[in-house]
Structure formats: structure tokens, C-alpha cells
Amino acid sequence: MFATLTGLGLSTAAGLNAYIPLLVVGVLANLTDAVKLPDGYAWLSHWGVLGVIAVLLAAEFVLDKIPAVDTVNDLIQTAVRPASGGVVFSATAAAAELDSSTWMAENPWLGWVLGVVMALAVHLLKTTARPVVNATTAGAGAPVASVAEDGGALGLSLVAIFAPLLVIVALILLAVLAWWVIRKVRRRRARRRARLDR
């Protein structure tokens, strides 16, 4: 169960920022015993790979804070964030250990699928919320929202590895946030329709 929560937490973080959970997993695999990468994922702890991920993170960090550019970046990240979610779920051995299931160990692709679906769901929430934030704050909210997302991705990555039970709380909070964003978007659309009908 803990491995599942770790995988879900990391893939959720990947939906916010593709590179932070990859970097956290790779660095911790190198420097601590907290993360043991399964066979086939040793590349994730290679310092050259981590360097490339750090450069991509730096680019994402800047681009995601510029209004309008953040929307284009989110469009590009539609492929990257879910893929990252699949990698981090599987790389932490969550897929093989899911409920100590023999079936799961024999079907490791399911870990990828769970990671991809979780990261994609969070990514879609983020890409839905960001234009609302930009429109209601005349773009001033973009850097604030981006810093909050980056902080959330880092915090959730660390929680997923060191205190996986807290991932349940994070997922509940994310569900509440999703409900709030959906309501906000629907109200905004309803107001826009009402203006057009006049």
C-alpha cells in the first residue's frame, strides 16, 4: 500500500511539474537509501540524466511564470507530464509492489498506466485553472500560481517518498481544488454566455 501511495503521490506531482519528481527520485536514489530504483531505471540516477532534467526544469520554471507563454508551455507539457508520471510511478517500484500483488508484478505496465492517468488528470486541472487565473488577475497571478504549483510538486514528491500516508490528504485536497476550479470555470462561461445573449 505504501508503494502505491508513493507512486500516486509522485505521479500527481508530475502533473504539476514533470521534472521535479524525476529530479527528486534520481537525486535521492543517488544520495540516500530512501529510493531504490528497480531494474531498468538505473538511468534515472545517472548524473548526466539528472543534469538534463535540471536544465529542463530551469526552462519550465521560467516559462511557466509568463502569462500566455504558460498556456503554450502547458500545451507542450500535455505529452511530457503524463510520461513523467508513468516513469516515477514505475521507477519507485510501486507498480511491482502494488498491494503485494503477484498479478501486478507480472503486469508492470499497469504502474505506467496509473502514473500516466494520474499525472494527466492533474495536468488537465492545471491547464484548465491557469487561464482562469490569468484572466481574473490580468496575468499577475501566473507567477504566483506557478510558484505554488512548483512548491506543491516538490512538497508532494518528498511527502510521497518519506510520509506516503499523507498522500491521501493531498489527494483529497486536490479533489476539492478540482471541484472549485470546475465551478469557477462553469460560472465564468455562464457569465460570458449571459453577456452574449444581451
- Each residue's pLDDT tens digit, 152-169: 999 999 999 999 888 889
What's the CA gap between 18 and 6, in Å, rounded? 16
Q: Is the pTM for the entire model greater than 0.75?
A: yes
- Secondary structure element (H or E) that encloses residue 52, with its range: helix 47-63
Task: Decide if pLDDT at 170 tops 90.
Answer: no
Task: Decide if pLDDT at 119 tops 80.
Answer: yes
Give pLDDT, residue 184. 76
Neighbour count for residue 46 (Cβ, 10 Å): 13
- Each residue's pLDDT tens digit, 128-139: 888 888 888 888
Neighbour count for residue 128 (Cβ, 10 Å): 15
Considering the chain, what percentage of its residues have pLDDT values greater than 70? 91
pLDDT band at 40; cut points 50, 70, 90: confident
For cell 488528470, the residue is 121
